[in-house]
Chain A
Amino acid sequence: MSLPKVAVVGVHGHGGSHLRTVADLEARGLARLSAVVDPREPDDAPAPWFASLGDLLSADTGTLPDVVVLSTPIHTHLPLARAAMEAGIDVLLEKPTTASLAEHAELVAVAERTGRLCQVGFQTFGSHALPAVVDMIARGEVGQVTGIGAVGTWVRTAAYWARSPWAGRRRMGDRAVVDGAVTNPLAHAVATALWVGGARTSTDLAYVNTDLWRANPIEADDTSSLRTVGTDGTRYGFGLTLCAAIRTPARVIVQGTAGEIELEYEHDLVRLRTGRVVAEKQYGRTGLLENLLRARTGERLLCDARDTGAFMQVLEAVRTAADPTPIGDEFVDWADGVDTGPGGGPRGKIAGTQGNPEGDARHPVVRDVAEWCERAAREQRTFTELGAPWTVEK
């Protein structure tokens, strides 16, 4: 039995974690790392190095991998995935899927034409908590579902927005980048909520309303609310920010007539609150690369590119919306350290609105933003509809 060969494209930054995953699968006798691809040669490459995917695909067919992991900037997703699938290789593509809905449609078409597998790296789709939540809903634990929301209140410092040339950009030249709160750091919140509610493909949402704001001096959004309705009538609300005072675990909230389910998707943790019971359940998780390898022998893909269509509809709405509106200075405090939340390290100090302290750890805090995000998710209304102070015209 020959082990499947895996190549990792993009090994600096996030790609490092993919290398560790492959090493783990190697140790368990499930796969073998056959090549690493990166324009920059790694100091200590664990496998033969290629400068580009083209170089790898042009090499001797005997060294062609069975699977590639693409951990590259978003605007390269479609061309790289297309090239790989056309060469007969199955693909694990880092999220977000592609830079536009049109690109997504093309990606799905390529997968169908070539018959290759295209898995997208929304890691939470491997969480056993997700099917458990869907099962709870189906069994009526919370009665009739009245709305599904996601709340993400995170902290991102100036260093984050300086991490790459495309960080915080909506476009570079004529290419879409869409590196904002909704579509990148908190993309999991959006994708997971939609998955739980049953919105999977690009025809599952009737419409999307965006309400995009920013407190950082960037092009993209960092504090956003969205409202969307599925073609089956399910209402979704999102309150997402990277400008919170402290980072808290992002949550998907399923509200029903008889209770609610809260899913902390980063931790595979489910809280069920009904009139009858208050319970907290901890789940495990299946790796998406492992699942992709098994899908080659018949198992179902956990995050097929097709099933990220609903998320791509949201990304499209964000991409084509007007540029995010700056939040007035009077609603923003600047902090000069990172407060990672309870038990998470030294507490940051909130400086006055005047100072704007220098340093890479500085970050804006939109006043009361956590409460407004919670309401946006729970009431499925945007910040503007709710009348959040920074949205009110003076």
Chain B
Amino acid sequence: MVSGNARGAGQRRVTATIGDVALVAGVSRATVSRVMNGRSTVDATIAERVREAAAGLSYRPSNAARSLALGRTQTVALVVPDLGNPVFQQILRGVMDGAAEDGYRVLVADTVEDDQQEGAIALEARMRCDALVLVSPRIGDAELSALIADVEPVVLVNRETGGAAPSLVVDYEDAALQVVEHLVSLGHRRMVYLGGPVRSASDELRRAGLDRARKRHADLEILDLPAGPDIQAGHAAAPAVLATRATAAVAFNDLVAFGLLAGLNEAGVAVPADISVAGFDDIELSRYATPALTTVAVPQAELGRHAWRELHAVIDDDAHPASSARFTPSLEVRGSTGPVPQGTERVHVTDDDGVGVRDVQREEIPTVPPTAAPTWSVPAGPDADTVVLTCGDGLELVRRDAGDRMPKVHARRPYLHPVHTLAGVPLTDVSPVDHRHHYGVGIAVPDVNGTSHWGGRTFIEDVGPTLLKNHGRQTSEGVRVEAAPTSRPAGAGAEAGEVLVEEVLWSDEHGDPQLREERRVTARLLPQTPGSAAAPGWVLDWRSTLHADHGPLEIRSPATNGRPGAGYGGLFWRLPLAESTRVLSASGTGENQAHGSTSPWVAFVQQQGGRSTTLLLVQPSQVRPWFLRSAEYPGACPALAWDSPLLVPEGGSVQLDLVAVLLDSALTSSAAAALAADLTDGGRR
């Protein structure tokens, strides 16, 4: 019997369902089913009431329903569109865990995304067990209503039914909104959505979320690119995604995102430097993608477990299921999303004949250098953890990240990245392939009382680098912005700027406090010499005091632990790789001259894509030996424990200071020396 015809468009339903009888008789559907099947376990007066109600409503159980047993098999079936999808595997796991608690077993039926067969497969599964969980059914609403009447008891996952059966749904609309809001907060305004299967209800929900985001942000563009539900679909879409020149891609699910990541990697496109990628579902693999995938987490196994709880309540005469349950996903921000690339051009191929390229770049350099002092903005919301330094009209110079999302093994710490020149060239790198635990600018120390605040492996004498469970954590205890003190002898036109003040607690691998750090980061524009043609620049001034509030400190480095020269540890600046990097210092030109020297300053002069930059690092007061690399990777820090451990008694403190100048030009040694002299604490600026 095809009961799908019973309900005409806009007409009253004429055929009563088992649910109607249950309602009128005031019993559960299961009880109605038992009575209709002539089972003797039902109280006589209740059975009479059910029969009266059924007669009053002219209820006739369908052929299918009449042949179905209830309570005989202690088995339920899970019907899914595609068991190959990890999402459905996790739902199955949850249903099985829940059912096992109540002594039930679970059968699985896979409809292989074939909506023609879905009803027949569900009915057949129901013949073999007591009840069904229907996951993401693809059939139409009318067919679904008919199917529910035939196979009850049933609960639905990822599909709403208008009350015909309990349903559990994920708020994918909100999920999509969360992803887009995250990308908008990173500066993205042109995105592309890789759509899922056409008949998928959850694809429609995602699109509804995208529409809400479009309404919120007038300047936001979200392009639509049909893809599909699997890895192949994502991989195939990569060229089309690049052709849109979008700076961010949102994929229908994590599998599609994986495919896209692979396609982008093959095309030599960096994620997230060139384009950000996000998915949905947070399947287990997404944490282990490279880079780890930003996604919206839906606790699929929990969804399955709760589906069982509701199904059990339907089966159980003494319980009442929820009529509907809605699950809220949460955004998992990982490595695959990042700030929007500065400038719109993306370099896919290097062009040694750089005339045309140079023309493009000249446009990006602001023709009128900014004159307003840079300002910090600290977001108020607890979720918005990114502090941004901007200058003038939206020119972003620095992002400060709390480091919460770093892998534990990298030694979590607040850091600055990206740090840009005024022309928008980033002079920091984060988690690069050569050293995954390098993060922009931050305080990284390999050995504080045996705890690594550097990340990665620890050098052990006679053993070599060894992965230990000794990674500490620097936790921000509060960030605020203060006006910069005006006592600094200011040169002509020097802007005072603002100070970002941060209290940082250093804890060891057990979570016990080690020391308290007081961090003050100031930014100001470099005053231009009148009449000078030199490109404008800006100054980042970092002062930190480590207080030994929790006992004495012994700060060591691999050098003090048996590996000469490896004296790294301190306020460390990691630069990006470039086509050419030249190191200058008061001790001469080249890495070997600077490394280990007590030059008051060092400079990295880099060439990349036809443009020149200089990062000048100055020790403004006490000068420590420089730890410096250039050939292997560009990076440097004044070394806290160059050749002997640094001991700080309880209650004592140690000062870490670094002043950096970022310029969009190649500085000569003499110019660098002169500028550095001005920037020491006794200097002019």
Contacts and interface: CB of A to CB of B under 8 A. Distances in A.
Interface in A262-319: 270, 276-284, 290, 294, 297-298
Nearest to B43: A298
A169 interface: no
A171 interface: no
Interface string B301-329: 01000100000010000011011111110
B320 A276 contact: no
A16 interface: no
B320 A279 contact: no
Contacts of B26: 30, 290, 294
B302 A282 contact: no
A128 interface: yes
B325 A279 contact: yes
A270 B322 contact: yes
Interface in B1-43: 24, 26, 43
Contacts of B323: 282-284
A298 B319 CA distance: 17
A29 B53 CA distance: 10
Chain A contact residues (Cβ within 8 angstroms of B): what range?
20 to 34
Contacts of A290: 26
A217 interface: no
A279 B324 contact: no
A131 interface: yes
Contact of A297 (B45, B56, B322, B326): B45
B320 A281 contact: no
A279 B45 contact: no
Contacts of A279: 302, 306, 325-328
A273 to B, nearest CB: 9
Contacts of A29: 56
Contacts of A283: 320, 322-323
Interface residues of B, number: 19
Given A28-B24, A290-B26, A277 B322 contact: no
Interface string B251-278: 0000000000000000000000000000
Interface in A1-57: 28-30
Nearest to A285: B320
Interface in A235-271: 270
A281 B328 contact: no
A132 interface: yes
Given A28-B24, A294-B26, A276 B324 contact: no
B102 to A, nearest CB: 11
B232 interface: no
A27 to B, nearest CB: 10
B299 A281 contact: no
Contacts, number: 49
Contact of B328 (A135, A270, A278): A278
A264 B134 CA distance: 29
B330 interface: yes
Contacts of A276: 299, 302
B302 A281 contact: no
Interface centre among A29, A131, A278, A298 (most CB of B within 10 A): A278
A270 B323 CA distance: 11
A279 B298 CA distance: 11
A140 B325 CA distance: 19
Interface in B197-234: none
Contacts of A28: 24
B330 A278 contact: yes
Given A276-B302, A277-B302, A290-B26, A132 B320 contact: yes
Nearest to A300: B318
A298 B325 CA distance: 32
A131 B327 CA distance: 20
Nearest to B301: A276
A283 B323 CA distance: 5
Given A276-B299, A277-B299, A277-B302, A282 B324 contact: yes
A280 B319 contact: no
B299 A128 contact: no
A132 B322 contact: yes
Contacts of A297: 45
Interface string A347-361: 000000000000000
Contacts of B24: 28
Contact of A284 (B320, B327, B330): B320
B328 A280 contact: yes
Contacts of B326: 279-281
Nearest to B328: A278
Contact of B322 (A278, A281, A294, A298): A281
Contact of A281 (B45, B325, B330): B325
Interface in B318-366: 319-320, 322-328, 330
A270 B313 CA distance: 16
A30 B26 CA distance: 10
Among A128, A270, A290, the most chain B Cβ lie within 10 Å of the Cβ of A128
A132 B309 CA distance: 10
Contacts of A135: 319
Contacts of A284: 320, 323
A277 B327 contact: yes
Contact of B325 (A128, A131, A282): A282
- Which of B45, B320, B327 has the largest count of A CB atoms less than 10 A from its CB? B320
Interface in B277-303: 299, 302
Contacts of A277: 299, 302, 306, 327
Interface of B: 24, 26, 43, 45, 56, 299, 302, 306, 313, 319-320, 322-328, 330
29 contacts: A28-B24, A29-B56, A128-B322, A131-B320, A132-B319, A132-B322, A135-B319, A276-B302, A277-B299, A277-B306, A277-B327, A278-B327, A278-B328, A278-B330, A279-B302, A279-B306, A279-B326, A279-B328, A280-B326, A280-B327, A280-B328, A281-B322, A281-B324, A281-B325, A282-B323, A282-B325, A284-B320, A290-B26, A294-B26
Given A28-B24, A277-B299, A277-B306, 20 more contacts: A29-B56, A30-B26, A131-B320, A132-B313, A132-B320, A276-B302, A277-B302, A277-B327, A278-B330, A279-B302, A280-B325, A280-B327, A281-B326, A282-B322, A282-B323, A283-B323, A284-B320, A284-B323, A290-B26, A298-B43
In the A-B complex, the 6 residue pairs with the smallest Cβ-Cβ separation, listed nearest first, are: A128-B320, A281-B322, A278-B328, A277-B302, A281-B325, A280-B326
